[in-house]
Amino acid sequence: MPTNSKPRKKYRPKLNLKDPVGYLIEGLQSIRSKGRILLELQVKNSSAMTSLMRGGATRRELGVLIEMSNVAEALQVGGFGAQYKEVAIQGRMALIAITDRATRVGKLVPAGPDIAALNDLMELHDAQMDVITVKDLQRAIAYATDQIARGKATRLPATGEKT
């Protein structure tokens, strides 16, 4: 008895939307039109940056800055601010330097060039948020998640902090 020559594919359920037209329209709206959400994101990023500069940042706040960096890089790869590739790379390198220093010192403390690079990265991220749509942000998050899952993302050293 012949067997099926095709390998079995992983089951992937179809996306079932209650309002497909609403989903499409929502994806075409700019992030800027979602004022409250954008404002909360900017406050969260600024708060994490302030905590880092004061020397009282935790892993959670470092995670916020890493997420911001990942989204900014993914948007840059997607064509939003492609000319600012160096800013995204310098921001990533600053985060790596901060976590390296944290493994030695035991505290998340940035150096002067790290602060400048992260400020430039935050400025790039805010500028990107002003021009992208919801769908663009979803694509950037999916891209960043995919890069992490494939192991192509830069792994940061453990900070040695408990929180």
Is there a contact between 69 and 140 (Cβ–Cβ < 8 Å)? no
Residue appearing with tokens 């790039």: 124
pLDDT of residue 39: 86
Does residue 10 or residue 131 have the better pLDDT?
131
CA distances, 83 to each of 23, 78, 161 (Å): 31, 12, 36
Region 89-112: mean pLDDT is 89
- Confidence tier at 161 by pLDDT (50, 70, 90): low
What single-letter DSSP state applies at residue 162?
A: -
Residues whose CB is less than 8 angstroms from the CB of residue 55 and which lie 6 or more positions away in sequence, other chains included:
107, 108, 109
Region 42-69: mean pLDDT is 90
Does residue 161 or residue 86 have the better pLDDT?
86
pLDDT of residue 163: 45
Q: Mark residue 119 as left, alpha or beta (left: phi above 0; alpha: psi -120 to 50; beta: remaining).
A: alpha
Residues 52 and 46: their CA atoms lie apart, in Å, by 10
Q: Give per-residue pLDDT as tens, 26-41.
A: 777 777 777 788 888 8
Overall pTM > 0.85 = no
Per domain, the residue ranges of the chain are 34-149
- Rounded to 5 degrees, φ, ψ at 82 are -60, -30
pLDDT of residue 120: 94
pLDDT of residue 2: 58
Does residue 145 or residue 22 have the better pLDDT?
145
CB atoms within 10 A of CB 69: 23
Residues 102 and 113: their CA atoms lie apart, in Å, by 16
